[in-house]
């Protein structure tokens, strides 16, 4: 939201809004109205688009500047895991999908859990899209109330829903809190077949976000576990 950005950068709101408009025009930042009260606007940076542009600029300047992932030793479970809790209202789709993707994509770097403020049964389309798109089986998963985890420690608590963000409790240890404003695919009108494309879109957005989340956590873990080099 704009007021959070102004606090973060220490600049007046009109200046921040001006630059946000320029970034939106360039399609580097996306904006969406809050589904909770329709008053707030959430801004999301398109990291995939920026990555493509940076790669193109590097290659355009010199082939040796092509961006490649850093080569580092793989930090598995023995290097320590990061506990992440994903929250949404029903714990029937978004947070369940995010939990499963984080576990599958992190190779032990992330221990993921999910819960909801008003749990509902797992949505059939969430099970279907995770199986068809990623080969991940959610059929045995069950929805949980966020109170199950309020006494547990997490490194990050990620809310996927504008409504649950408003009621998110405090967790022990003051974990880093992150908000991903993602529309609820289960709220779309129509039967399961009609709403399935929305679940596919949600799965794609979650996959992108989880990929960047895991990359950041993996890089941080690798940096923490590298042996210090002695000065000659």
The DSSP 8-state label assigned to residue 169 in this structure reads P
Structure token pair of residue 202: 């949600």
**In angstroms, rounded to a whole number, what is the distance separating the alpha carbons of residues 193 and 162?**
26
**In angstroms, rounded to a whole number, what is the distance separating the alpha carbons of residues 185 and 165?**
17
Count Cβ atoms within 10 A of the Cβ of residue 84 and give its class: 0-12 exposed, 13-18 middle, 19 or more buried.
Answer: buried
Q: Which of 75, 72, 55 is nearest to 63 (CA)?
A: 55
Q: Which 3 state secondary structure label does DSSP give 5?
A: helix
49 has catalytic annotation: no
Which of the residues 168, 183, 215, 222 is marked catalytic?
Answer: 168
**In angstroms, rounded to a whole number, what is the distance separating the alpha carbons of residues 20 and 29?**
7
**In angstroms, rounded to a whole number, what is the distance separating the alpha carbons of residues 112 and 157?**
10
Name beta bridge partners: 32: 42
Which of the residues 16, 85, 87, 88 is marked catalytic?
Answer: 88
168 has catalytic annotation: yes
- φ and ψ at residue 81, rounded to 5 degrees: -105, 160
Distances (CA, A) of 2 to 20, 32, 40, 49: 9, 12, 9, 22
- In the numeric block, the tokens 């993602």 are attached to 182
Which of the residues 130, 158, 161, 164 is marked catalytic?
Answer: 161
The residues annotated as belonging to the active site are 88, 161, 168
């Amino acid at each position: 939201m704009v007021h959070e950005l102004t606090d973060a950068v220490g600049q007046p709101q009109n200046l921040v809004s001006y630059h946000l408009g320029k970034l939106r025009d360039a399609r580097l930042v996306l904006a969406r109205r809050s589904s909770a009260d329709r008053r707030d606007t959430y801004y999301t940076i398109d990291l995939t688009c920026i990555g493509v542009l940076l790669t193109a600029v590097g290659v355009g300047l010199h082939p040796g500047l092509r961006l490649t992932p850093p080569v580092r030793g793989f930090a598995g479970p023995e290097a320590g895991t990061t506990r992440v809790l994903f929250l949404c209202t029903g714990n029937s789709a978004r947070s369940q999908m995010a939990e499963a993707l984080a576990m599958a994509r992190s190779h032990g770097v992330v221990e993921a859990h999910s819960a909801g403020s008003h749990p509902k049964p797992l949505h059939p389309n969430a099970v279907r899209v995770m199986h068809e798109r990623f080969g991940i089986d959610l059929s045995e998963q069950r929805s949980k109330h966020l109170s199950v985890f309020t006494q547990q420690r997490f490194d990050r608590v990620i809310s996927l829903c504008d409504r649950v963000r408003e009621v998110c409790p405090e967790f022990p240890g003051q974990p880093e809190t992150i908000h991903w404003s993602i529309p609820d695919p289960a709220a779309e009108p129509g039967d399961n077949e009609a709403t399935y494309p929305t679940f596919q879109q949600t799965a794609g957005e979650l996959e992108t976000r989880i990929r960047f989340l895991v990359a950041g956590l993996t890089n941080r873990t690798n940096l923490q576990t590298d042996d210090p080099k002695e000065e000659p």
